[in-house]
Amino acid sequence: MRSLVAAITITSLLGVAAGTAMPSAPPVAATVSTHFVEFDQGPPGPLGSVTFIGDSVGIGAGRFGPSLPDHLIARGWGPVRFHAVDGKRTGYPPGWPDYFNAVPLIDEWQASGWDSDTWIVNLGANDSGYCNRDVACARASIMLVVDAIGPGHRIWWPKITRFYTMQHQADAWNTALDQIAAERDDFWTWDWPAAMRARPDVYASYDNTHLYPDGYRERSRAMAGAFTDAVAMASRVGGDAPTPTNAGAPARIVPVDPVRLLDTRSDPTSRLHAGGIATIDVGGEVPASATAVAVNIAAVDPAAPGFLTAYPCHSARPVTSAVNTVGRTRSASTIVALSPDDTLCVFSSAVSDVIVDLQAVFVPAGTSGTSGLMPLPVPQRLVDTRVTGRRLLLTLPVPAGAAMAAVTITATGVEAPGYVTAYPCGTQPPEVSNVNVLPGDTSAGAGFVRVGTLDSICVYASSPMDVVVDLTATLTPGAGMSYVPAIPQRVLDTRTGLGGWRPVHGAGQTLDVGVAPAAAGAVSGTVSIVTPSAPTFVAAAPCGSTAPTSSVNAAPGDVVANGLTVGVAGGRVCFTARAAGHTLFDITGWWVAT
């Protein structure tokens, strides 16, 4: 596990605790003094119970409010058992009274029925004085506590600071913590010395170890955030969500050049109001037999945080989203089944301009001139201008014989407002977009792009930015799979446990999710990241394989969606998150052999 310095807390935690039963031991008597702090606090929380054991450095986390337990409970943990004693140590070497040793206390609690899933151990300042420069001694001290807590628990152990004349003791102790964190997947360390150095005005100290009350208050806030970001994980709390009902017969794709279907900035429909619905008639742009379309949808200058939902107009509006915004321009691609009158509807939850660009058309299987989906076993990176150097126009070869390419396009390092457009080489750049960005953004968009001359697609960036393009599938004439459109339906939401996982998608955690019928070879839908704790991405891949690329990117606290077409294994997709947050997946259809 990597060491974390500081992070932003996770929000939107809903519901009750998941996983093992909450500890049922009798509460400990509350004691708060200069040299001893012990109490239980808080009701059961969705993230589970926490035990804190600390020395004199830890006392301040319980004495000065808002305390560390206050912050942990606010983030969804609970109950919290807190214990800190001046002079507390691990218990190595033997010979110290049990009062000062952590291991007898752990044994006593576990024997009485208290055994939380997660532990914060804030020890080492005292032990490091004995171990001095001996890293092996420090490891033995730390492992004494780890072994006492036992397997099946998650342990978070901050590094220590010492007075400058004893820096070598802290260095040996912290080296041991780093070694153990690198060796175990149930152990994390936090670089408290780096956090302290970064804010000397806040973390003032008379001995480079203990803080003043305001410093302890801020340290408690930072500890709760870093602990939550590192340790919070989803647990399996139920089965898969029901698979949606198909909205039509299998269809195959017709390559088209991208064209703009709606732009409320110039069209008579004008800006959508909150709760407004735009009805888009695509009859003039698609064959009479069309059953679905692939589109890119943008919310432009929304007046408030919100979302857009695309669906066939003859159906009730589903509880899904195709685009999510936090009050800024965002876009994403999706596949939408058409109503019998060749219309699709776009709902906006907030006042916003809306742009809809056509990418591809689906017609019944068996129609001549159509192509089927050939998903790649794992996505293939076509270009990364952070490595190759920036260019406004990229020409990217794709496998020979493909009529269209399914791609994910990520813009990063954006210097000015702009957009990215993918289109067939040999034609002029159309007035459409796959990704819309603002300065500082890292944002991904997906799309189906007709292949142009020399078996290539072209990608144009309208302003200075880096562009990453990943190929996820090709669409090939006379081969591949057909698409079964569905009424959009949410099949994963870690906020609520829909899809079997909650209460949060943990950093580095992979969620195995049923998203399509077992016979499906691929699935299409919208994947969303909600309020991540740190800059992050979610990668999707058939379970049993590892995606080397990202499917959607988000900044801390953001809400971002992107279209996704990915292969499935037994109807299942595995989603892996870089940082803790919430992950949602809305299915729009699946792909089958015909």
Q: What is the CATH number of the domain that holds 169?
A: 3.40.50.1110
What does the mean pLDDT of the chain come to? 91
Average of pLDDT values for 175-192?
A: 97
Q: Are residues 228 and 256 in the same domain?
A: no
Residues in the chain: 594
Q: Give yes or no for residue 2 having a pLDDT over 70.
A: no
| 31 vs 122, more confident | 122
Report the C-alpha gap between 56 and 126 in whole angstroms: 9
Say if residue 262 is in the same domain as residue 204. Answer: no
Q: Are residues 193 and 275 in the same domain?
A: no
Do both 261 and 195 map to the same domain? no
Residues 324 and 393 in one domain: yes
Total tally of structural domains belonging to the chain:
2
* Domain-located, residue 16: no
Query: Would 25 be classed as within a structural domain?
Result: no
267 pLDDT more than 80:
no
Does 142 fall in a domain?
yes
218 and 266 belong to one structural domain: no
Asked if 259 and 228 sit in the same domain, the reply is no
Task: Verify that 221 and 256 share a domain, yes or no.
Answer: no
Note whether 260 and 330 are same-domain residues: yes
Closest CA to 243 of 591, 593, 590, 594: 590
Tokens representing 390?
Answer: 């920036």
Question: What's the confidence (pLDDT) of residue 370?
Answer: 95
Q: Return the percentage of the chain with pLDDT > 70, whole number.
A: 95
Coil, helix or strand for 142? helix
Residue 136 belongs to domain spanning? 31-232
Mean pLDDT of 555-572: 92
- Can you tell me whether residue 110 is helix, strand or coil? helix
Spatial contact of 73 and 123, defined as CB atoms under 8 Å apart: no
Q: Is the pTM of this model over 0.85?
A: no
What string of H, E and C letters represents the secondary structure of 31-79? EECCCEEEEEECCCCCCEEEEEEECHHHHHHHHCCCCHHHHHHHCCEEE
List pLDDT tens digits, range 92-121: 877 777 889 999 999 999 999 999 999 999
In a domain, 244, yes or no: no
Both 283 and 226 in a single domain?
no
What's the pLDDT tens digit per position in 471-504? 989 999 989 999 999 989 999 999 999 999 999 9
Q: Which residues pair with 343 in a beta bridge?
A: 281
- Quick one: pLDDT at residue 268? 66
Tell me, yes or no, whether 260 and 200 share the same domain: no
Answer whether residue 455 shows pLDDT above 90.
yes
- The proportion of the chain whose per-residue pLDDT surpasses 90, expressed as a percent, equals 81
Are 39 and 180 contained in the same domain?
Answer: yes
The answer to whether the beta carbons of residues 68 and 82 sit under 8 Å apart is yes
